Amino acid sequence: MSTYYTRLEVDENASQAEIDAAYAQQRERYSPERVAHMGDDMLHVARERTAELEQIHHVLSDPQRRRQYDVSIGIAVPEQSPESAQGRRSLSSRELLYIAAGVVVALVVIGITWVLTGREQPDQVAGMDVVVAEVDRPAPDFTLPTLDGTDIQLVDYRGQVVLLNFWGTWCEPCRREMPALQASYEQLRDEGFTIIGINLADNEIAQGRTEEDIREFSQQYGITYPVALDMEGDVSTAYRLFPLPTSYFVDAQGRIRYIRVGELTLEDVTTIFARLQQESTALRQ
C-alpha cells in the first residue's frame, strides 16, 4: 500500500528529523530548475510531485495531523478516554462530532492524494507510469563495482543501446518491472542492446542491507544482466535521479535520448530500442 511514508521512502516510525530530511531530499529532486531541460512533461510531473510533497510534509510535520493520518491508514488506533476505554459511558454527541470530523479530515487527505497522484495505481508515483521524456544530452560516464566482483564502465558499451535502470530492493515498482527487463535483455542483447541495473547501494546500506542481500534479491528475480553498485550515490546524482524506478536509454553514440520514470514493460523497451536503432541506421547512411 502506498502511504505518505512510502512516498518519502521512510519508515512509519521515522523521527521528525528523518521525515524532514527525506522531504528536503525529494524537494531537491523535483526542483523545477533541475528538470527544466527535460521538457514540459517532466516539468509538469515535477510540479505535481512538489505539490504532493508539500501536502505530505504539512501532514507529517504536525503531531496531531500525523496521528490522524496514521489512524486513517490503520497503523494507529484512535485514542480513548479512560471512561470510554472501561466502558463506563457512551460517547457524547460532541465526541461523535469530533470523530466524524476526524474521518472527514482523513478522507480529505486521501482525496487530495488521489487528485495529486493523477488517480494512478496506489503504489505508483504520481503520473510516472506514462512519462517518457525525449532528451539529447551526453550520458555521464561512470565506473562502478558489480555484484560479480568486477568493475563496469559505461564508455565500454559505446556502439550499443544501453538501458540504465536505477533500482532498490525496497522499491515495489522495481520488483514488478524486473521480469520485463530480464525478458527484454534476453530478447535483444544479440541485436546491440544491454541493460545495466544500477542499485542505489548507498540507500541500501543506510537501511541496514548488505551487498549479499542485494545479490540474493537479484538471484531471486533471475537477473543476468550486469548489476552495478552505486556505493556513494555519485552516479544517481550525476544523472539527476528521480524517485525509483527511473530508466535512461543511452544511444550508440553515448547520449541519453529517453528518460522513463516509472515501470517499464517489455513493449516499452522494444519500442524505444527499435526507434534508437532506426536513428542509428539513419545516421550511418
CA 45, CA 188: separation in Å to the nearest integer?
30
Q: Is the per-residue pLDDT at 114 higher than 50? A: no
Q: Is the per-residue pLDDT at 249 higher than 80? A: yes
Its CATH class, for the domain covering 4-116, is mainly alpha
Note the pLDDT of residue 152. Answer: 97
Q: Which fold has domain 128-284?
A: Glutaredoxin (3.40.30)
Q: Is the per-residue pLDDT at 157 higher than 50? A: yes
Note the pLDDT of residue 96. Answer: 53
| Ranges of CATH 1.10.287.110 domains, the chain | 4-116
CA 81, CA 232: separation in Å to the nearest integer?
49
Q: What is the mean pLDDT of residues 233-251?
A: 86
Q: Is the per-residue pLDDT at 272 higher than 80? A: yes
Q: What is the mean pLDDT of residues 34-61?
A: 76
251-267 residue pLDDT tens: 999 999 999 888 899 99
What residues pair up with 261 in beta bridges, in sequence order? 131, 246
24-47 residue pLDDT tens: 888 887 777 776 666 666 677 777
Note the pLDDT of residue 31. Answer: 75
| Ranges of CATH 3.40.30.10 domains, the chain | 128-284
Non-local (6+) Cβ contacts of 234 within 8 A are: 142
Note the pLDDT of residue 97. Answer: 56
Assigned C-alpha cell, 250 = 543511452
220-240 residue pLDDT tens: 999 999 999 999 989 988 887
Contact between 99 and 105 under an 8 Å Cβ cutoff? The reply is no
pLDDT band for position 130 (cuts 50, 70, 90): very low
